[in-house]
Homo-oligomer: A and B are copies of this chain.
Amino acid sequence: MSQSVEKQSGKTRIQREKREQILQAALEVFAAHGFRGSTLDQIADAAKMSKPNLLYYYSRKEDIHQTLIARLMDTWLAPLKTLNANGEPVEEICAYINRKLEMARDFPRESRLFANEILQGAPHIIEMIEGELKTLVDEKAKVIEGWMDEGQLNSCDPRHLLFAIWATTQHYADFDVQVRAVLGTDKGDESRFEDAKEFLENLFCKGLKVR
């Protein structure tokens, strides 16, 4: 009778471990096939346990997905949140781009999970998109507009600027197969992120910097 915490993720060590095992497996599968395209058998397989055993930890397929999405959204919004209104504008934006690019490199499955969700109309996160995300973007857009009004940045639509940053950075995770194919196998495997970093800094900062 060791029910100290009820709602939280796990009371025993083994529960925490197995739940994490399942989440990792599910992340892989959902990122590759979307929610509807993924099966519990696939996830159970990837998690190296039987389907009923898996369902002992998460009693519904949607619960696993929800857990993953919820966990993702925290880390997803973090980089934009740290954009500092008091910092040097071009530096702040460059740092943001780099952070996003690092996320595409280090968490490609999370990026694809998110992409899948949005592609399919964001059924599970639409309120968060229209709520928390929109609020955050509105706030940061104002910061960027402020910089532009002060003449510290060339002016442009800050929301479309954010779209462009999201699109270009996440592209390296979401369209990974295509990126690899186009770049070919000759180049070192990880050099593409260094090249992308250089290219994107150049693209965004040359256009934004006052000259």
Contacts and interface: CB of A to CB of B under 8 A. Distances in A.
A203 B34 CA distance: 33
Interface residues of A, number: 56
Contacts of A126: 177, 181
A65 interface: no
For the residues of A in contact with B, the DSSP-based class is: helix
A211 B211 CA distance: 10
A27 to B, nearest CB: 14
Given A157-B199, A163-B172, A206-B207, 15 more contacts: A33-B120, A34-B120, A115-B115, A122-B177, A126-B181, A129-B177, A134-B181, A134-B182, A156-B202, A160-B195, A160-B200, A161-B199, A163-B179, A167-B170, A203-B203
